[in-house]
């Protein structure tokens, strides 16, 4: 039994969260190499000279809010916060550059209620939206969902510009599955393949991927190792999972998986620059840093919410 140190710090959780009693899945079906799990090397990847767009988003809850009905004692929960998404475009021979960014600042109310906040000096303003769920954490979940939806819309727009788009996270929030897009999943929550195949994934070397397997009704998937683990790292260090739409056909999915195996390892995160390296790709890390900057100072954002509530006659606290 070996002892390892997780590359990611504990504040970010672990990238490998599969419980030890996970029985594996019978719903994900190997599709590329018959019933066996095979290894494909980067050398088999197709050459690609086009642009690759890396899409990611960040969200930040900046103040929890309440609406209180003194007649009934009922309390409705809300959150004020913001989300931002953007893209980095990588081109052969040109390097990478920031592209479009989209920023939204919202007040989200639960329990079906609404309530606007007035704009305050400094450019602080919020769009008010409502959800039916009364759960205390529902507004913050809605902020996360809206961020992912905006990522999906941006990814679709970049596909229209003939970029190969890599979106941070699964493909759940894309409206169309007929796109040249790749979902990039850094955290593993369950064993998607039968256990005898799942156990072989850590044997991948840098730049190698597994056979494609069918995942659900609309996408293929495979595992890819970005970089060799350090001597103290666990066996799943540097392993990510890719999702590719099925609609273009298995042949096209193989080409995209080959492109990813050949290109993505060169973008692997560097430990002294990113505490989630190597899985957090360098363009994604740089983009997240930029987006957090564009959201503005968190303390000033909270102060602005307090000022807006005070203007309404709410009690500052």
Tell me: the pLDDT tens digits for 192-247? 999 999 999 999 999 999 999 999 889 999 999 999 988 888 899 999 999 999 99
Look at residue 45 in the predicted model and tell me its pLDDT. Answer: 44
User: CA dihedral defined by 260, 266, 268, 273, rounded to 10 degrees?
Assistant: -160
Bond into 278 cis (ω within 30): yes
Q: Where are the domains of the chain?
A: 13-311
Higher pLDDT, 150 or 21: 150
Distance CA 201, CA 24 (A): 13
Q: pLDDT class for 156, splitting at 50, 70, 90?
A: very high
DSSP H helical ranges for 161-279 = 195-198, 250-263
Other C-beta atoms within 10 Å of 147: how many?
25
């Amino acid at each position: 039994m070996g002892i390892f140190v997780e590359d990611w710090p504990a504040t970010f959780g672990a990238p490998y969260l599969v419980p030890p009693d996970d029985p594996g899945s019978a719903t994900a079906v190997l599709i590329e190499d018959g019933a066996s799990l095979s290894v494909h090397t980067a050398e088999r990847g197709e050459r690609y000279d086009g642009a690759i767009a890396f899409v990611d988003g960040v969200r930040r809850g900046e103040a929890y809010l309440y609406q209180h009905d003194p007649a009934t004692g009922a309390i409705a929960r809300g959150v004020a916060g913001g989300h931002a998404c953007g893209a980095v475009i990588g081109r052969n021979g040109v390097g990478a550059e920031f592209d479009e960014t989209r920023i939204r600042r919202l007040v989200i109310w639960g329990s079906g209620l609404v309530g606007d906040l007035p704009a305050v000096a400094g450019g602080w303003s919020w769009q008010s939206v409502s959800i039916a769920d009364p759960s205390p954490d529902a507004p913050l979940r809605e902020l996360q969902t809206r961020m992912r939806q905006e990522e999906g819309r941006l990814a679709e727009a970049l596909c229209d510009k003939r970029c190969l788009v890599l979106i941070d996270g699964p493909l759940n929030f894309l409206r169309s599955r007929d796109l040249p897009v790749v979902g990039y999943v850094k955290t593993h929550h369950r064993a998607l393949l039968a256990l005898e195949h799942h156990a072989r994934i850590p044997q991948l070397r840098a730049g190698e991927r597994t056979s494609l397997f069918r995942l659900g009704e609309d996408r293929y998937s495979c595992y890819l190792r970005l970089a060799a683990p350090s001597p103290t790292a666990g066996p799943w260090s540097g392993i990510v999972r890719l999702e590719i739409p099925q609609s273009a056909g298995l042949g096209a999915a193989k080409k995209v998986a080959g492109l990813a195996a050949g290109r993505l390892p060169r973008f692997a995160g560097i430990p002294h620059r990113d505490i989630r390296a190597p899985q957090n790709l360098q363009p994604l890390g740089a983009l997240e840093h930029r987006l957090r900057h564009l959201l503005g100072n968190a303390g000033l954002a909270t102060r602005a919410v307090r000022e807006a509530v005070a203007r309404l006659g709410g009690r500052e606290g």
